Amino acid sequence: MPQSSAEPLQRQADDTGDVIRAPRGVGVALLLFVGLIALGGFYLLIVRGDALFLDLAALSGLLFCF
C-alpha cells in the first residue's frame, strides 16, 4: 500500500519540535554572574556617587576631543 504524501511531512514537523537546552547549572551561574555585576554597579554608585560621574565626564572629555 503506498504511503500518503502527508505522512513524511508530519514526521518532519515532529522532528523540528526538539529544543536543545543548556543544563540548569549554566543558567544559575549566568544569573549569579549578571546579578553580581549589577550589585557591584549599585555599590559603586552608592559609595562613589558624584565622583563617579565626574570621572565619567572627564573620561568622555578625553575620548571626544571636540
Q: Which pLDDT does position 26 carry in this prediction?
A: 94
Predicted pLDDT at 59: 84
Q: Provide the 8-state DSSP code for 55.
A: H
Q: Tell me whether residue 17 is exposed, middle or buried, using C-beta atoms within 10 angstroms of its C-beta: 0 to 12, 13 to 18, 19 or more.
A: exposed
Q: What is the pLDDT of residue 49?
A: 84
- The reported pLDDT for the residue numbered 6 is 55
pTM for the full predicted model = 0.51
Instruction: Please give the pLDDT value at position 37.
Output: 98
Point out the residues of the chain with pLDDT beneath 50: none
Residue whose cell numbers read 547549572: 25
The set of residues, in sequence order, having a beta carbon less than 8 Å from that of 52 and lying 6+ positions away, is 44, 45
